[in-house]
Amino acid sequence: MIGLFNSLPLRGVVLHNRVAMSPMCQYSAVDGRANDWHVVHYGSRAAGGAGLILLEATAVVPEGRISPQDLGLWSDDQIEPLARVVRVIDAQGSVPGIQLAHAGRKASMRRPWDGEGAVPPPLGWAVVAPSELPFTEGHLMPHALTEAEIAEVVTAFADAAWRAHAAGLRVIELHAAHGYLLHQFLSPLSNRRTDRYGGSFENRTRLVRDVVRAVRAQWPGELPLFVRLSATDWTDGGWDMDQTVELARMLKSDGVELIDCSSGGNVAGARIPVGPAYQVPFAERVRREADIATAAVGLITDAAQADHVIRSGQADLVLLGRELLRHPYWPLHAARALEQSVDWPAQYLRAVPKATPAPKGG
């Protein structure tokens, strides 16, 4: 039976275990460029044994940043600072990946520790969306993208994928969740368009599929492509699980290897029943009904809990977020708890816990 510490092959990439670091914004870049913080932050989690390190939401255009301090891949001069991070991850045996994103109407915001609300021009920028509907109070009124501007967004994702490959990354995840631009197009609550990008399911999913195809054309065939979806808006009349399954089937045919199953983020104040592993059923259903690999994410904190997700066939990969912020070496300790043998960094071998001897018989 496959467990948490079995390898996971994805096209020409093999993860040495099924623990991945979920993308989490660090709000610490300067002009979109990675720096020492990113080297230490991601390097620590790679040394801690995660099979895949997914770097934070990285903007494909400047106006796609959530905050002025977000990572970016809209310029060639951002490649080498990112490559430095990738080399550190690679050196520890983890696979380096990245989440490419455009925040849409949720862009130009203050980073969390700087207070709430938008950063208006001149320090911030004008934001865009499928329709002229702000996310909520405190967010900027977006400009509704024209079809020509939508085409530019698609090109920006493809160009960022090329730069990601140049930086040495081996997995791309496209962010179509949490109320950011691609999710905004999917949901009828944020997409009120009447052209070929709005209205029907086919039209609302057109941008995501256009982006996937454009990225797949730039991204080497031997490297895997993920998509993160919010399985539900948790709001009547919004994006839901049935639509997620249908889109996942289509994305598989477009060349996507794995669906990262999250939820929410597109409706302010949505009532979300948060609890341990509360999103795992989404990953299980997509895996079963769309016949595609999935990742489970959300309040997975315990080794036995994570292992059960894999062994029971609910998902192929477990993504840890806040738990890896708290415990960078969680995979090493989880392996011990599950009595699995894993490699520690050579520099730390003197600290590997010794097995507890069995009690002598009386």
- The closest alpha carbon to 267, from 186, 173, 154, 147, belongs to 186
Q: Which two tokens stand for residue 216?
A: 């797949």
Identify the pLDDT of residue 360.
Answer: 63
- The closest alpha carbon to 29, from 44, 47, 46, 41, belongs to 41
Q: Hey, how many other C-beta atoms are within 10 angstroms of the C-beta on 264?
A: 22
Distances (CA, A) of 49 to 1, 45, 219, 330: 21, 7, 26, 8
Identify the pLDDT of residue 354.
Answer: 83
The domain limits of the chain are 8-342
Q: Is 313 helix (H, G, I), strand (E, B) or coil?
A: coil
Identify the pLDDT of residue 362.
Answer: 45
The alpha-helical segments, DSSP class H, found in the chain are 36-47, 79-91, 147-166, 181-186, 201-204, 206-218, 241-253, 280-290, 303-311, 322-326, 330-337
Contacts of 242 (CB under 8 A, 6+ apart): none
Q: Hey, how many other C-beta atoms are within 10 angstroms of the C-beta on 359?
A: 6
> Could you list the pLDDT tens digit for every one of the 362 residues in the chain?
999 999 999 999 999 999 999 999 999 999 999 999 999 999 999 999 999 999 999 999 999 999 999 999 999 999 999 999 999 999 999 999 999 999 999 999 999 999 999 999 999 999 999 999 999 999 999 999 999 999 999 999 999 999 999 999 999 999 999 999 999 999 999 999 999 999 999 999 999 999 999 999 999 999 999 999 999 999 999 999 999 999 999 999 999 999 999 999 999 999 999 999 999 999 999 999 999 999 999 999 999 999 999 999 999 999 999 999 999 999 999 999 999 999 999 999 999 998 755 566 64
Identify the pLDDT of residue 171.
Answer: 98
180 belongs to the catalytic site: yes
Selected catalytic residue, list 180, 197, 278, 329: 180
**Encoded amino acid at 195, one letter:** D
Rounded Cα distance between 239 and 231, Å, is 7
Rounded Cα distance between 118 and 102, Å, is 16
- The dihedrals phi and psi of 229, each to the nearest 5 degrees, come to -120, 145
**Encoded amino acid at 281, one letter:** P
Q: Provide the 8-state DSSP code for 357.
A: P
Rounded Cα distance between 246 and 235, Å, is 19
| Topology, domain 8-342 | TIM Barrel (3.20.20)
Identify the pLDDT of residue 356.
Answer: 59
